Amino acid sequence: MEHPIKIFSTRNSRYLAERIAKSLNLELGKSDVTVFSDGEFQPIYLESVRGVAVFIVCSTFPPMENLMELLLMIDAAKRASAYKVVAVMPYFGWARQDRKDRPRVSIGAKLVANLLEASGCDRIMTADLHADQIQGFFDFPVDHIYASSIFLPYLRSLKLEDLSIAAPDMGSAKRVNAYSRIIGCPMIICHKSRERANVVGSMTAIGDVEGRNIVIVDDMVDTAGTLCKASKMLMDKGAKSVRALATHPVLSGQAYEHIASSPLEELVVTDTIPLRAPQGADTGKIKVISVAELFGDVIDKVYRDKSFGNTLMY
């Protein structure tokens, strides 16, 4: 007997879940959340999920309640006899905590993986993990999707001459190398030193910068300090223009002010996280491309047991 499919969402990811469901010609499943006076909450499915392949869309950006709501929805679906429960996590929070980079710190990404497994999750889908090795933290399938499949067509549409792809730091070198190889253009690596978390000290560039139209590629942009400092440094070294592609627009602190006052011509992001610009913030340089159809395609292929290897590659 074929198991039906239903798409559900946590509250803060409904904006994206509706687009994903629409791409699959489905209605978003009905659910609700009971909130108690002390802040405790309890999700509930308002329709049967018995024998159903349940896909729950939830980007785990702050606040913490997003992750907790996802865990509770997975638990509720399993207890309601769902056939399979898949967590669709376009943005996987805590991914920057993938190792012990100094003594006495947590490995948050591994803890989140343990929590998802303990809740009864059968599979996860996510986009552009901060560190690829996080996939190894799970003992069930992980579909790691790359936003390059939507960024590359956009980049080609710009028809930029003298194009170079730049990594804002050494950690992005693998990603940038893939982009430069596919497009057939040189790559640049920006080397930075940090004074402390979210604060960049010195920065320099490795590669030819003068006279190039440069596109910086990264998995996320948080305070935009590194990105904006890199764009200024590249322009000071003679670049014609600097743009940036970043999958996850965390955009915390003074990120919007940094971007507006930077030499960046544009910052292209996806909707894995909704833009939450403060009132009056200048967002004119920010362009959003949706990942809804990309995730919809992967969900459809997982549900139908079809191969989608090309979708997952740079």
DSSP designation for 268: E
Terminal-residue alpha carbon distance, the chain:
36
Q: Which residues contact 254 (CB under 8 A, 6 or more apart)?
A: 223, 224
Q: Which residues contact 256 (CB under 8 A, 6 or more apart)?
A: 277, 278, 281, 282, 283
Measured distance CA(65)–CA(290) in Å, rounded: 24
Of the residues 110, 192, 232, 237, which is catalytic? 192
What does DSSP say about strands 241-249 and 199-206: parallel, antiparallel, or unpaired? unpaired
Measured distance CA(310)–CA(314) in Å, rounded: 8
Reduced 3-state DSSP string for 217-251: EEEEECCCHHHHHHHHHHHHCCCCEEEEEEEEECC
Token duo for residue 186: 């040189």
Measured distance CA(78)–CA(183) in Å, rounded: 44
192 is catalytic: yes
Active-site residues: which are they? Answer: 192
